[in-house]
Amino acid sequence: MERLLFVARGIPGLGNVSPCIALAREFAKLEDFEVKMASYGLGQDFIRKSDLPFAEIEFSPGGFYPGLNPIGGLYPQLNRLVKEFKPNLIIGSGEFYLPLYCHLEKLRCCMLANLSLFRLAGGFFAEVRDLLTFMYRMCDLIVDNGIIASKEGLPQDLVQKIVFTGPLIREPSQSDRINLRKSLGLPLDKIIVLVTKGGGEEMPKTEVPGKGSRYLYRQESLKILRTAAEAFDLLKGKYDIYMVLVSGLGLEDDDRQFLRALVRDQIELVEFTAQLPDYIAAADIAIGRGGLNFTAECLYCRTPLVLLAVSVDDEAVYNSRQVASYGAAKMISTEQLTTELLVSLLTDLLADPSKTHSLVAESTLLVPENGVTRAARIIREALL
């Protein structure tokens, strides 16, 4: 029996948790594998809603390295999990210090990463590029689960450890759109527009606003839902639309009050759902902020996609620009976003089906298949 321990960074959002869940489910289907998930923060809430064994860990600012926080950090918590579960391999996503932990404890390590972000010239990923390179050198294998393969700017010794699989996607529960709508309680005869601001965002409400701050990120994310609801009001007389707003986890009370005010006839609010792939596959158009997982799931489900890239999120802007440059999505930055601009874009798509068909055709080229089967096969062949 092979035992795989998945360790996913659970804050500030859910971007690292989703691909771990997708890959863990793939291995869990195999008779000779046992899997366990470990995360913290919003990641715990997300995994609890899945069907996978889960081990709770607590986040500590000390991180993994024992010299930084020898008592309350993640290092001793992982030691406990490893002793109890005895994994043959640890698979991580987002935890930069995990390869160091595995190296010190002589454990095999595989990291899931969107390596196209190494191209970013500024922002968070540029600041930690040297740290990531140092840590990833200690991995046995790196699975590039980005939408577009990229080894640009990476040292050769690191390139040799990398395999590109494409996105690791949670599958919809079924392929038939009508049955999906029935199971979700959605109308069968309306144009379904799905709008999400992202899976969640955990941050101090008192953080000082500023460029790149989590506070500003939250404000721009909520702006996506507000602008979509305002666009609905202007479009409903012309098109028979039903809109689903997905707000994600990590909401404060005043956020909920703000969101409840957006609900009206033919607009449904879903605070969080582990069934987001089902909603995506059931929708006629999907609107989101440009996170890797949502974008990849829409491309995979062949759902026409509008990306309202949060301007203070370097990853969302980069993902959105990449996908839009291939003609697989329409893009507006939240800095430029207005109700009138979104109405114009949606009207253009709804009035001319050939334009949505073009988006779907390009999405087929960008994400031709789910990367989980290939990733699982490669990991088995290379490391187990």
The answer on 220 and 111 residing in a single domain is: no
| Mean pLDDT, all residues of the chain | 87
* Secondary structure (DSSP) of 60-120: -TT-S-TTT-TTTSHHHHHHHHHHHH--SEEEEES-TTHHHHHHHTT--EEEEE-GGGGG-
User: How far is residue 45's CA from residue 250's CA, in Å, rounded to a whole number?
Assistant: 10
The answer on 211 and 316 residing in a single domain is: yes
Q: What is the pLDDT of residue 72?
A: 46
**How do residues 215-236 score in pLDDT, each as one tens digit?**
677 788 889 999 999 999 999 9
Q: What is the pLDDT of residue 209?
A: 46
CATH at 80: 3.40.50.2000
Q: What is the pLDDT of residue 77?
A: 84
**How do residues 3-15 score in pLDDT, each as one tens digit?**
999 999 887 778 8
Q: What is the pLDDT of residue 306?
A: 97
The answer on 227 and 124 residing in a single domain is: no
The answer on 259 and 345 residing in a single domain is: yes
Are the C-beta atoms of residues 306 and 216 closer than 8 Å to each other?
no
The answer on 266 and 124 residing in a single domain is: no
Q: What is the pLDDT of residue 118?
A: 74
Question: What's the alpha-carbon Rg for the chain, to the nearest Å?
Answer: 21
The segments of the chain whose pLDDT lies below 50 read 62-72, 202-212
Q: What is the pLDDT of residue 121?
A: 57
The answer on 189 and 136 residing in a single domain is: no
The answer on 152 and 54 residing in a single domain is: yes
Structural domain span for residue 244? 177-366
Cis amide leading into 277 (omega within 30): no
Q: Considering Cα of 323, then 174, then 368, then 25, what sign does the dihedral take?
A: positive
Which two structure tokens, joined as six digits, stand for 361?
A: 């055709």
The answer on 217 and 305 residing in a single domain is: yes
The answer on 246 and 122 residing in a single domain is: no
Question: b/e for 147-178, b at 16 or more Cβ within 10 A?
Answer: bbebeeebeeebeebbebbbbbbbbbeeeebe
Say how many domains are in the chain: 2
The answer on 376 and 295 residing in a single domain is: no
The answer on 246 and 183 residing in a single domain is: yes
The answer on 76 and 205 residing in a single domain is: no
Up-side HSE of residue 83: CA atoms within 13 Å toward CB?
6
Residue 112 Rama label (left phi>0; alpha psi -120 to 50; beta): beta
User: How far is residue 36's CA from residue 46's CA, in Å, rounded to a whole number?
Assistant: 14
Q: What is the pLDDT of residue 285?
A: 98
